[in-house]
Structure 1
Amino acid sequence: MGDRDEEALVRTLTGAARSAPEPVEDLVVTIGRRRRRRRRVRAQSVLAVAGMVAVVGGMAVVRDTLPNRGGEGVSMTQAAPSGDAAEETGQPFQNGPGGVGGTEKPARIDVRPAEEVWPAAVSTIPVRAADGYRYRPVTGLSATKLLLSAESSFEKAGRLEVYDTADRSSTVLTTMPDTGVKGYFAGRFEVGSDYVAWWGGTPNDPDEWADFWVVPRSGGVARRVGEVTGDLSKVTRLAVTSDFLLWSVSGGGVYRMPLGGGTPERLGGTDGLHLLSWPLAVDVGDGEGDGGRRNQTRMVDLETGRTTEVSVPEGGDGFRCGPVWCFGQRGDAMVVQRPDGSDRRLLPGFGAGRGVVDRFGVMRAPFSEEPDAYVPLLTVYDAATGLAAGISRSRGGGSYGMGISSSPSSIIYWDAGKRSVEECEKVDARRLPRPSGAAVPTGEVTECTGREVGGGKEFTVVNLLAVPSTK
């Protein structure tokens, strides 16, 4: 991966300036999304949108944005969807090649808090270990066991722990090895049937280099598998089997190395492919495709060689598939379907997908202007049952994080105790930024600063491995 740069994703509208003399239009707030550095995919942590807002005659102006590096994903205040969230009422739905055709009506979805929809899948864990190390969830190991990274400082993993949500206890899986390499960071972790694996490197160093480690799922001392340089060190995703460690690279292609060490081998027929979760590889990698808008068009089973073509509907945008279900945007709605285009349905008001985990699609939640309506920050939609579970909240400030496993994580979490508060004061309008050539305003205006308070004790965790099976 190349040097990390800051990239803005304009997705969130914030209702602002209650004290303004005229009704205030929605405020477009920029959510920063960092590109990952060279070999290290860092945690899905975030830039907050709690910025400084000023109002002049009904116009809301962002004065500043404040970074939130706590690992709780996207944080926002009074979040509302962009203007493309209008509801659709049935309309002809044109399918791509191999689709199912016909006229389809949107599904009506009742979104309720995750703890109501899947009470067995929701639990709380401490934000910090007893020694003060901060926990960052990785993924679920089972319905009641979670893999956590305990960090001595931001994104600096000190050990891996297994947390049991049933008896609220944790055990150390392994202590992260001291590599002796200055500026070394562990990348993302991957759970296989027998091992937990990860890669690491020196993201602040110009050398193109990465190494790989494994530890038994039962715990123990981590073992170094090997190292790679050059293009092979630009790791995007990782997989581990009982015999091999496999990884894909930023330019496409999948490689493997025996767990006992040895020479890396490129798997034939993987040009342009990126690992999803073993044994699946797909034709769109992380960070590729016009800010995530490029459609995935095929999946390849690297064990059997079978290729599955994805029937993307006409107008589809940002389609991503798991083994059985696909999610993507079409105009004002999310589209849910199987890879061949069957079982297709529309979810009006949903959008800005955040990933696919097996049968679950993680997406932006619809917004309601009703003052007492439940408005989550995200929705997890179960394509198999049609149930929709809300994550965190948008009103009053909310945040979320997704587990830092290499393949799609089964964990979504947030700090329910954290709130955003707004502090306002009257200021001279001439202090406000304005477009070049605009008239200088006069008089006093209300200027408000948002900040986060509370929280820091517990994360609420949704573990999708604990959602009841449909079988």
Structure 2
Amino acid sequence: MSHRDEEALVRTLAKAARSAPEPVEDLVVTIGRRRGRRRRVRAQSVLAVAAMIAVVGGMAVVRDTLPNRGGEGADMTQAAPPGDAGEDTGQPFLNGAGGPGNPREPAPVDVRPAAEVWPAAVSTIPVRTADGHRYRPVTGLSATRLLLSAESSFERSGRLEVYDTADRSSTVLTTMPVTGVKGYFVQSFEVGSDYIAWWGETPNDPDEWADFWVVPRSGGVAKRVGEVTGDLSKVTRIAVTSDFLLWSVSGGGIYRMPVGGGAPERLGNTDGLHLLAWPLAADVGEREGEGGTGNQTRTVNLETGQTTELSLPEGGRGFRCGPLWCFGQQGGAAVVQRPDGSDRRLLPEFSSGGVFDRFGVMGTFAGEEPDAYVPVATVYDAVTGLAAGISRMREGGGGYGRGISSSPSSILYWDAGERTVEECETVDARRLPRPSGAPVPTGEATACTTREVGGGEEFTVVNLLAVPSTK
């Protein structure tokens, strides 16, 4: 199918969105599960698929399920316009107990732009460095310091920098080493107390191989920890402590190597477990569609060995939990709750998404007001009940990016200066996609494509580490 045909299909699905039934499961996850580990989808195809996902049921659905980084992935999560279709205080939220089996009555949630909800957490950074490298955010290091990857070409990290949003200055942390491995791409980074780590692979090569690197958090020369092959190279997430680099693999199980180098060692009693954010692990993984709409059912502290069994609502799906909060889906509504099932709330305005500590990043249903603010995604704060919009749906769609840290990133970003332009032309109707077995249409039809114009100067960044504490 051509790019133009994909766009036509997107528009067709968009017009049918409002009458479409609720999806049986999250289509993003379904597509991710069917995508082979080594298969690569070019950027325009990813964007078209994301657009189709966004309009089903009239909502924008966002998950971190794009393929491995390998030179052809999409730069930002994109969505088609539905119109076309911290610290926990333990304080109670609004009214009612909201215990297991007793969710609170849904109350309207006011979604406003993130800059209005958390002005201290929103800033702008340049899209490019002075020498032309393009920034790709990784995660927050503090309320004002951001870890950025400076890329010499698409998805080719040339160096790591720390950008200070208070004085708008950047400092080079390390220059990325030249591996000499053909087709090598860094996949994700992870910040520990003493080191920043990353792992890489050759995603467009059939060989099963990966390697790991660390650099002191204060900066310096990067050091290669080691390499692995076979099943040990099917990395889902990594973590780094003062002594070890750890990683989980797609089939489940967690391994470690000494930071100074050495043989890989499998951690005991980690069968079926995947890293979340150190020291937590869970019984579902996020790459290759693992877990999908299935629920996380337990969280394990790898330092203490403590296991927390999760109490989830009947019919819940896609539940993901951190140490204090869980987000998922029940029926047509998002759900937020504590791991033990208490403080459970229904959020009918949203579809479930990723979790960062007390924050859930969710898709947003479009309202009926034609000029109403409709974000591409919404960050919901489980502690305060505040909802902050990320980017904005425009004619033709919208998009945003998530930081490329291995554990859930504190950063979301977008190019506010970019806009979508729709271009239409009359084409032979036989070129348009149609269901298998359907008769071949005749005559002419209107086919429309969209493209992004403008922007390229600044990213708007939301750093959740800068959201004020409620204490």
TM over 0.5: yes
Once residues 140 and 103 of structure 1 are traced to their aligned partners in structure 2, the CA distance between those partners, rounded to angstroms, is 33
Please report how far the alpha carbon of residue 359 of structure 1 lies from its aligned counterpart in structure 2 after TM superposition: 0.2
Counterpart residue number, 1:267: 267
- As a proportion of its length, which structure holds more strand? 1
Please report how far the alpha carbon of residue 188 of structure 1 lies from its aligned counterpart in structure 2 after TM superposition: 0.7
Please report how far the alpha carbon of residue 101 of structure 1 lies from its aligned counterpart in structure 2 after TM superposition: 2.7
The superposition leaves residues 443-470 of structure 1 with CA deviations (integer Å, 9 ceiling, x where unpaired) of 6543322222111111111000000012
Counterpart residue number, 2:455: 455
Structure 2 residue identity aligned to 1:370: E
The reply on whether 1:230 has 2:227 as its aligned counterpart is no
Counterpart residue number, 1:26: 17
Please report how far the alpha carbon of residue 165 of structure 1 lies from its aligned counterpart in structure 2 after TM superposition: 0.7
Please report how far the alpha carbon of residue 132 of structure 1 lies from its aligned counterpart in structure 2 after TM superposition: 1.1
Match of 1:77 among 65, 75, 80: 80
The superposition leaves residues 160-214 of structure 1 with CA deviations (integer Å, 9 ceiling, x where unpaired) of 0101111111111000111222222222100001110111222233332222111
Please report how far the alpha carbon of residue 398 of structure 1 lies from its aligned counterpart in structure 2 after TM superposition: 1.2
Structure 2 residue identity aligned to 1:79: P
Once residues 436 and 255 of structure 1 are traced to their aligned partners in structure 2, the CA distance between those partners, rounded to angstroms, is 46
Q: Rg: which structure is higher?
A: 1
Counterpart residue number, 1:370: 369
The superposition leaves residues 332-369 of structure 1 with CA deviations (integer Å, 9 ceiling, x where unpaired) of 1000000000000000021041x100000001012113
Once residues 257 and 436 of structure 2 are traced to their aligned partners in structure 1, the CA distance between those partners, rounded to angstroms, is 58
Please report how far the alpha carbon of residue 230 of structure 1 lies from its aligned counterpart in structure 2 after TM superposition: 2.0
Counterpart residue number, 1:241: 241
Once residues 103 and 407 of structure 2 are traced to their aligned partners in structure 1, the CA distance between those partners, rounded to angstroms, is 35
TM-score (norm 1): 0.82
Once residues 200 and 281 of structure 1 are traced to their aligned partners in structure 2, the CA distance between those partners, rounded to angstroms, is 21
Once residues 196 and 324 of structure 1 are traced to their aligned partners in structure 2, the CA distance between those partners, rounded to angstroms, is 25
TM-score (norm 2): 0.82
Structure 2 residue identity aligned to 1:246: L
Of 225-234 and 406-415, more deviation after overlay is shown by 225-234
Once residues 111 and 297 of structure 1 are traced to their aligned partners in structure 2, the CA distance between those partners, rounded to angstroms, is 30
The superposition leaves residues 31-54 of structure 1 with CA deviations (integer Å, 9 ceiling, x where unpaired) of 77595846x999x9982239999x
Q: How does 1:438-449 map to 2 (within 5 A)?
A: 438=438, 445-449=445-449
Counterpart residue number, 2:423: 423
Counterpart residue number, 1:301: 301
Q: How does 1:77-156 map to 2 (within 5 A)?
A: 77-79=80-82, 100-102=100-102, 104-156=104-156
Counterpart residue number, 1:286: 286
Q: How does 1:183-202 map to 2 (within 5 A)?
A: 183-202=183-202
Counterpart residue number, 1:406: 406
Please report how far the alpha carbon of residue 122 of structure 1 lies from its aligned counterpart in structure 2 after TM superposition: 0.5
Counterpart residue number, 1:250: 250
Residues 45 and 416 (structure 1), Cα distance of their counterparts in 2 relative to 1, 3 Å cut = farther
CA contact (8 A) 2:247 2:255 kept: yes
What secondary structure does 1:232 align onto? helix
Once residues 245 and 107 of structure 2 are traced to their aligned partners in structure 1, the CA distance between those partners, rounded to angstroms, is 42
Please report how far the alpha carbon of residue 26 of structure 1 lies from its aligned counterpart in structure 2 after TM superposition: 3.4
What secondary structure does 1:389 align onto? strand
What secondary structure does 2:287 align onto? coil
Counterpart residue number, 1:321: 321
Of 287-296 and 237-246, more deviation after overlay is shown by 287-296
CA contact (8 A) 1:186 1:199 kept: yes
CA RMSD of aligned residues (A): 3.3
Once residues 139 and 302 of structure 2 are traced to their aligned partners in structure 1, the CA distance between those partners, rounded to angstroms, is 23
Stretches of structure 2 lacking an aligned partner (at least 5 in a row):
1-5, 21-26, 53-66, 86-97
Once residues 10 and 382 of structure 2 are traced to their aligned partners in structure 1, the CA distance between those partners, rounded to angstroms, is 30
Residues 46 and 337 (structure 1), Cα distance of their counterparts in 2 relative to 1, 3 Å cut = farther
The reply on whether 1:336 has 2:339 as its aligned counterpart is no
CA contact (8 A) 2:82 2:365 kept: no
Residues 193 and 417 (structure 1), Cα distance of their counterparts in 2 relative to 1, 3 Å cut = same
CA contact (8 A) 2:51 2:79 kept: no
Please report how far the alpha carbon of residue 440 of structure 1 lies from its aligned counterpart in structure 2 after TM superposition: 5.9
Structure 1 residue identity aligned to 2:383: A
The superposition leaves residues 24-83 of structure 1 with CA deviations (integer Å, 9 ceiling, x where unpaired) of 54388x977595846x999x9982239999xxxxxxxxxxxxx9968542223323598x
CA contact (8 A) 1:46 1:75 kept: no
Counterpart residue number, 2:46: 47
Stretches of structure 1 lacking an aligned partner (at least 5 in a row):
1-9, 19-23, 54-66, 83-94
CA contact (8 A) 1:51 1:449 kept: no
Counterpart residue number, 2:24: none
CA contact (8 A) 1:420 1:451 kept: yes
Q: How many residues align?
A: 424
Counterpart residue number, 1:176: 176
Please report how far the alpha carbon of residue 436 of structure 1 lies from its aligned counterpart in structure 2 after TM superposition: 5.7
CA contact (8 A) 1:52 1:448 kept: no
What secondary structure does 1:231 align onto? helix
Please report how far the alpha carbon of residue 251 of structure 1 lies from its aligned counterpart in structure 2 after TM superposition: 1.1
Residues 314 and 130 (structure 1), Cα distance of their counterparts in 2 relative to 1, 3 Å cut = same
Residues 290 and 303 (structure 1), Cα distance of their counterparts in 2 relative to 1, 3 Å cut = closer
Of 44-53 and 310-319, more deviation after overlay is shown by 44-53
Counterpart residue number, 2:161: 161
Structure 1 residue identity aligned to 2:250: S
The superposition leaves residues 94-119 of structure 1 with CA deviations (integer Å, 9 ceiling, x where unpaired) of x9xxx623363113200000000001
What secondary structure does 1:116 align onto? helix
Identical amino acids, percent of aligned pairs: 74
What secondary structure does 1:304 align onto? coil
What secondary structure does 2:152 align onto? strand
Counterpart residue number, 1:7: none
Residues 379 and 349 (structure 1), Cα distance of their counterparts in 2 relative to 1, 3 Å cut = same
Once residues 412 and 249 of structure 2 are traced to their aligned partners in structure 1, the CA distance between those partners, rounded to angstroms, is 26
CA contact (8 A) 1:79 1:377 kept: no
Q: How does 1:344-355 map to 2 (within 5 A)?
A: 344-353=344-353, 355=354
Counterpart residue number, 1:393: 392
Once residues 314 and 297 of structure 1 are traced to their aligned partners in structure 2, the CA distance between those partners, rounded to angstroms, is 13
Residues 160 and 361 (structure 1), Cα distance of their counterparts in 2 relative to 1, 3 Å cut = same
CA contact (8 A) 2:100 2:311 kept: no
